[in-house]
Structures are given as C-alpha cells and as structure tokens.
Amino acid sequence: MVNYKELVEFIVKHLVTQPDSVEVENGEEDGGSKILIRVAHEDVGRVIGKRGATINAIRLLAKAAAVKAGERVDVDIIED
C-alpha cells in the first residue's frame, strides 16, 4: 500500500514558507483514503495556486499513485 500521507506531506512541505506548520491527516472514506492538508494561513494560497492549479497537481500525483496500486484517494485542504 502506498503511503499517500508521506507523499503529500513531502510535496506540501517543499511548497510552503512555514514547513513546520504543515499537518497532513490520513483517513478512510467510502473504501478509499482521504488526505487532509492543514497549513499556516499565509501559505494556503501557495498550496492552492492560481485557479487551483497547485492543489490539482497534488491531487493528480496522489491519484496516479493510487491507480497504480488499485486504490482510491482524495486530497483536500482545510482552511482555518
């Protein structure tokens, strides 16, 4: 089984200005994995990107790894 939490955490920590504040949670949802990303308020825009391009790229990488393993994964960002 692929560790999607580590994959997403690695990517996000290299994108933000405050990598110590990155929290990635792993959960189960409808037979698949659910990855939740929480970052510092000023880094939310960096993770989302213009028109959602960055978060969509992160989702695409996680889903590509999941397809290869025959699994499902969803990635979301939590804005506080």
Domains in the chain: boundaries: 4-78
Give SS3 for 37: strand
DSSP 21: G
* Residue-by-residue pLDDT tens, the chain, 80 positions: 679 999 999 999 999 999 999 999 998 888 889 999 999 999 999 999 999 999 999 999 999 999 988 999 999 999 87
Q: What are phi and psi of 77, to 5 degrees?
A: -110, 140
pLDDT of res. 1: 67
Give SS3 for 24: strand
pLDDT of res. 22: 95
User: What amino acid occupies position 19?
Assistant: P
> 4-78: what fold?
GMP Synthetase; Chain A, domain 3 (3.30.300)
pLDDT of res. 2: 79
pLDDT of res. 26: 93
